[in-house]
Amino acid sequence: MDAIDSELLHTFRVVVDAGRISQAARALHLSQPAVSQQIHKLEDRCGRPLLTRSARGVAPTEAGALLLGYARRVQALLEDAAASLKGADRLAGTLRLSASTTLAFYVLPPVLAAFRAHHPGVAIELLVGNTRGVVEHVRSGEVSVGLIEGPGRVPHLHVEHYLDDEILPCVAGATAKLRHPVPRTVGELADCPLVLRESGSGTRAVVDAALRKAGLRARRAAPDLELGGTEACKGAVEAGLGVGFLSRASLEKELHLGTLRPIEIRGLRITRAFRWALPSAAPPSGLAGAFYRFAGDHSPGS
């Protein structure tokens, strides 16, 4: 196969992201026939179709999805190179990163604000999802750096420590009417509804592992509430629907207002770490590397 022209690769990435040839043509300031011609030329170079076309637009084929990951990596490398050449004191461009929900909502905002204050020429695009989603963002090359709250090992990625965290069992504050007695032991917890994050969440994975280690899951009598997102879980706990397991990092406002209160379950303490998810063991470069170093020096509590 002939070498792939970077301009054709850029056009392909824009077309896939736009979902339509017409929208991509506007973004690229080209005519639709010119964009279509570039896509056909790229498909000829690759020797196979890269897009499926329908009335709803275009979508990558299996080969196209594979090439898209490389296209995004190439774009990230070019942005990193441009940022490095401009020098750390004059960073510019778009920093694309991904973070799981607890980190994105409660840990990263002040770090990102401080980073922007130091580098006002940098735009920030933060993709938010659960840990499983962040891992896929990094694996696909859509972002150069991710932050997760899940496992210490992820296949095909380099994972390293960022911050420590604790997950606290919580019930509604003193002003709310609790629908169940407050549990104080693992045995009592078995008879109380639990408010849990969705499958794929890093918080959920850590809580499930801790409960299994305590022998709780085999003895569960009360049904659980499974909710997609920390704020939904906090709302359910505040309404007295059960015991929630929430990151200490997410509870500052609720603890101050008294709408939630942590409880102590004897024999159950859940700690975890927030971690970087990186494409390789080599430190990231360019904008991603600048943020990686800045976040390490300006982490909450440092």
Question: What rounded mean pLDDT belongs to the chain?
Answer: 86
Q: What is the pLDDT of residue 275?
A: 93
193 inside domain:
yes
Instruction: Give, to the nearest 10 degrees, the angle between helix 6-18 and helix 32-46.
Output: 120
Residue 284 has what pLDDT? 84
pLDDT at 219 (0 to 100): 54
Task: Considering only residues 146 and 82, tell me which one the structure prediction assigns the higher pLDDT.
Answer: 146
Q: Is 122 in the same domain as 53?
A: no
Is there a single domain that holds both residue 118 and residue 146? Answer: yes
What's the pLDDT band for 177 if we cut at 50, 70, 90?
low
Q: Is the pLDDT of residue 170 over 90?
A: yes
Q: Is residue 233 part of a domain?
A: yes
Shared domain for 228 and 264, answered yes or no, is yes
pTM: 0.64
For residues 125 and 131, what is the distance between their CA atoms, to the nearest angstrom? Answer: 17
Does 7 score more than 60 pLDDT?
yes
**159 plus 252 within the same structural domain:** no
Percent of the chain at pLDDT > 90 equals 34
Q: Is residue 1 one of the residues assigned to a domain?
A: no
Q: What is the CATH number of the domain that holds 53?
A: 1.10.10.10
Query: Is the residue at 302 inside a domain?
Result: no
The pLDDT value given to residue 6: 83
Q: Do 179 and 265 belong to one domain?
A: yes
Read off the pLDDT of each residue in 288-299 and give the average, rounded to a whole number: 87
Number of domains within the chain: 3
Could you tell me if 175 and 263 lie in one domain?
yes
Distance, CA of 237 to CA of 51 (rounded, Å): 46
Angstrom distance (rounded) from CA 292 to CA 302? 15
Long-range contacts of 86-94 (CB under 8 A, 24+ apart): 88/290, 90/121, 91/119, 91/121, 91/122, 91/287, 91/290, 92/119, 92/121, 92/122, 93/121, 93/122, 93/123, 93/287, 94/122, 94/123, 94/124, 94/125, 94/287
Which three-class secondary structure state does DSSP give residue 254? helix
Q: Give the distance from CA 82 to its chain's centroid.
A: 25
pLDDT on residue 115: 93
Q: For residues 175 and 130, state if they share a domain.
A: no
- 102 with 133, same domain? yes
Q: Are residues 122 and 178 in the same domain?
A: no
Instruction: Return the minimum-mean-pLDDT range out of 73-77, 154-158, 204-208.
Output: 73-77
Q: What is the CATH number of the domain that holds 184?
A: 3.40.190.10
Q: Which domain holds residue 10?
A: 6-60
Mean pLDDT of 174-179: 66
